Each structure stands twice: as structure tokens, then as C-alpha cells.
Structure 1
Amino acid sequence: MWVDSKEGVGSNFIFELKLKEAKSNHLKHEDKKTDLNENIFNANKILVVEDNITNQLVLLGLLEDCVKEIDIAKNGKEAVEMFQIGKYELILMDIQMPIMDGYEATRIIREIDKEIPIIALTANAMVEEIEKTKKAGMNEHLIKPINIENFFATLSKYIAQN
């Protein structure tokens, strides 16, 4: 352990650890992702409603192997507008967004289409929040951070199998 410090500039605190390589029977993340995606579903077009760019990238990475086209709306207003134009098989809906939240967007979309699967994807895990998403017309409630196995299992309930 050591410190590298320059007056008026700042300090770096540095340490090194010697670690033993762990032996594990667990699959690597990449192998597990391929395993989960394999033969789950093939979707033509999904709408992802998410204002956070990092979350958008995570979802794109998860879905790229099993969805042909993924549209992204940055808020509920955009989602409603895109839904009125496009034909989607499923909507992943964030809850807390600027301009229009996921609850209001879902209510408007449900006035147009009562059948489209809408899955809440939010950090809100409270029972009251889950009930609120159901009352707004969402089919499921998934919690961030995403549990990959649960994510794919839930989506495969609503999208046709291979």
C-alpha cells in the first residue's frame, strides 16, 4: 500500500492484493447469457421505454440476440407516440421518467390496445408499487437490477417460442 501525493493537485491511494484464482463450476456470464437466450423466443419488434441511457444499453445487450428490431422511447409521451405508429409485440416500461411516467403512458396505451403485453421494469419493489403497476394495466412487474433468468422467463411468457 502506498500514497502518491502532489500538493495542490491531489492524492492517489494505491494498494495491491494477491488473490488466488477461484475454481468454480459456474458458467461464465457470456455462456450463461447464450444459454438463456437459446431457443427462448424470437421477437420481431419490441418497444423499450427507458430514460436512462445505461439501462437502455443493458436492455439492448440482453435483447439483441432474440429481437429483430428494438425501438427506444425516452419517456412515456414518446412511447405513446411510437406505439400509435408502430406495431410491437411487447413493451418494457420504466415507471419514473420525465414528461410522462410509465403509469400514464400505460393507461393511454391500454385505451388503444388492451392486449399488448406491457411489462414494468423498475427499481420499485414495494408491494404497493407492484399493485399500482397492475392497476395501471401492466401485465408483469420486473425489478431492477435485472435478474436475467427471471427477465427471459417473463418475456418468453408473452412472446412466441421458436
Structure 2
Amino acid sequence: MRTIYVDPEELDQSGALGLISSKVRILPAGAVIRTEQAEIRAEVPRYQEMAERAGVFFFFEDEELPELPFFAVPGLELAARDRDGSWYGRSEALGEGVYCVTPEGTAFRVSEDMGRFSSRLLAGEEVREMWEPAPGLRVYPSKAEAAGQIRLIPLSELAPEALERGE
């Protein structure tokens, strides 16, 4: 089955995007930052502990969010960043797991799930020792560069009428 990619960031609104085809596998590409609610930071002290112990900072809705310096294929939902500039998140297309993109653009699988990743950070474990290469995750410096390497289809070509109506 042929695979094509779409960038959900092309939508003006938030919400679910579902594209199904029996002939083509359609996967999201790019990267988005997923934030936690601001109230959670005060209610759950583990976020501050992870920041202090491991230098991993989760994103919250009341903070200014950083610019993303890369375009991931398949797409990543980023939840945190560390003091060294690495980004951490999940990819629905790759299944369970937490992935990391280093400042150099190298991708790794760092944990089997976000709960285990958080537990390791809180336990003071050196998570970099557990990094495994993530051959299914490619990182490009920009969307334009990715589009030169993969089939990145604008959403307007897949459902032009629905996007024009704002559905």
C-alpha cells in the first residue's frame, strides 16, 4: 500500500482529523506541541521534580511555546524539551513509545510509553543510556525539504470543499 503524508497544521482549527482510504495509507507529518493545562502544574509536583532532577520541561498552555526547528515524518506530538535542546513526544503512526529528536536532528526511541519515561526521570535514571535508534522516524530541517523527499499532499487536495466550508 502506498503511503502519503499530510500536515495537520494546515488546518485553522483544532480538533480531530480523520482521513481513511482503502487504497492509500494517509499519515500525519510535521510536529505539534501538546500542552498540559496550567492548573496541572501546581496540582502535580512531578512536573517540577522532572525539571529539577532531569532537566526535562513539559509544555503548559500558559507559557510561550518555542518555535519548532524541524519537520518530522511521520508526525510527532511533542510534550517536553530538555535543557540540552532535545524534544520529546509521541507518534501515533509509530505506535506506543516516546521519541526524542536531538538538536542535530537525530531521532531516538527513548521509552515504551510516557508513564515509564516519567518514572525513569523521577527515579534519576540517565535516560540517554536507554535511547535506541528510531529508523521509522525521519527528521528534516523544514517542511519544504521533507516535501522533496516524501509524498506530502496539501489537505486542500484531499478534501477541498470541506476545508473551504471550514468543516
Flag whether TM exceeds 0.5 (same fold).
no
Q: Give the greater-gyration-radius structure (CA).
A: 1
Q: Which is strand-richer, 1 or 2?
A: 2
TM-score of the superposition, structure 2-length normalised? 0.26
Q: Which is helix-richer, 1 or 2?
A: 1
